[in-house]
Amino acid sequence: MKCFLYAAFLCLCLLFSLEKSSAFEGRKIAENHHSHTIEVSSLLPSTGCKSSTKVLSSNDKKASLEVVHKYGPCSKLNQDKTSDAPTHTEILLQDQSRVKSIHSRLSNSKASGGNDVKVIEATTVPAKDGSVVGAGNYIVTVGLGTPQKQLSLIFDTGSDVTWTQCQPCARSCYKQKEQIFDPSQSTSYTNISCSSSICSSLTSATGNTPGCASSTCVYGIQYGDSSFSVGFFGTEKLTLTPTDAFNSIYFGCGQNNQGLFGGSAGLLGLGRDKLSVVSQTAQKYNKIFSYCLPSSSSSTGFLTFGGSASKNSKFTPLSTISAGPSFYGLDFTGISVGGTKLAISASVFSTAGALIDSGTVISRLPPAAYSALRASFRKLMSKYPLTSALSILDTCYDFSNYSTISVPKIGFFFSSGIEVDIDSTGILYASSISQVCLAFAGNSDATDVFIFGNVQQKTLEVFYDGSAGKVGFAPGGCS
């Protein structure tokens, strides 16, 4: 009997240890399901360019352009390695300028009336308004004029007016890599007159009342980092691909330009105002465009006008921000870390409102949402040594002694009920292996708008359908 009881006891012990081990295995798998395993060496970009495996096809329904980071090895602006790439601290400070100016633009609202543009002799435009060029910029190459000249432009969903530097640079031009556009050498260039209704509509697109010089409309746009462009407003032929060209696209021909444009020739405005390229090409593309921002500055992505969304896209409605109707507003409802939705009141998100922006680098969260995210992230990362902050990023780690790390997944929830997982390349921002930071920051005020920045958009196909009023997200968009 004793033997039997002892054998039964052994069986129970064995069964218990098996159950315990299988439960533990289950937990290990579950943990892996809610975290990313990242090779530390992959946190820094490589020195060579790795082109996307996605074939950029253009047809009668869509036009696709290659997207590169302006300071990476894939950018022709950076081929001779002489372009003055900013430091990480400078990038984050410039990013802070952009965010501040978006916040002040929304809090001051355009209802307070525009500033007047002093004619081209003016050295600066009043700094009330502000899209900011910032530093997290991605560029595409388009053709302008007849015969067309290839120009690299920063594309920006937070700006409306498309402009490029133009000869004769009546006041000043910053240094750009390509030849400066000369409208006198193009047979398709035309000036817009001051008295036209299109000239008046610059007020809503730039926040500044247009000026007039020799009966020609003068635009002025100042960005929050003190960059600006002032010049003649005109129309020109814009060529996106060999098959897709548009005559008479409204654009700014900059005669007085200064700022942090990184050698690019100007800016491609993708906002919601009627003067943006998205609105001006709506007859063909129906206000549809999409992009994928590459996983690092050493790889490529795309910007496509027209076309259809990936089959696995998740959609949420676009909302309109009354103080800034040209921004793409979104209704955020929550955040998850490591597979657990954080206990943040829905009012935290609705009080702030939210927008998605291709030009802001680091996502800015309402203060209560950021502190909950940071606390949860730090708890799940507690085995790694913390190190000093990097500018606005306050949760940084030293991974010098690790070859791989495990990082909790982060997801964003939207009003349509969808959860969008941030790619593993969109969670951390590395200045070096010994300083790798959580790539999110908090706003200082609960009423400041939540901004979904470009680091968090990496490798997602972000599909904007302006006519249907929705935006879609699909993973693995660049490959």
76 exposed, middle or buried (CB, 10 Å; 0-12, 13-18, 19+)? middle
Is 300 within 8 Å of 51 (Cβ atoms)? yes
User: How many other CB atoms are there within 10 angstroms of residue 379's CB atom?
Assistant: 11
Per-residue tokens: 373 = 């995210």
Question: What letter would DSSP give residue 368?
Answer: H
Task: At 97, give phi and psi (nearest 5°).
Answer: -60, -45
Given 357, 423, 448, 465, the catalytic residue: 357
Tell how far CA 429 is from the center of its chain: 15
In Å, what is the CA distance from 6 to each residue of 11, 14, 341? 9, 12, 47
Per-residue tokens: 135 = 């530093």
Catalytic (active site) residue 465: no
Beta bridge partners of 443: none
Residue type (1 letter), 399: F
User: How many other CB atoms are there within 10 angstroms of residue 121's CB atom?
Assistant: 11
Given 156, 225, 423, 465, the catalytic residue: 156
Dump strand ranges (E) for 288-362.
288-292, 301-306, 314-319, 328-330, 332-337, 340-341, 354-356
Picking from 302, 357, 358, the residue whose alpha carbon sits closest to that of residue 74 is 302
Tell how far CA 461 is from the center of its chain: 12
Is 442 within 8 Å of 352 (Cβ atoms)? no
Catalytic (active site) residue 357: yes
CA–CA dist 407, 156 (Å, integer): 30
Residue type (1 letter), 171: R
Q: Tell me the three state secondary structure of residue 307.
A: coil
Catalytic residue positions, numbered: 156, 357
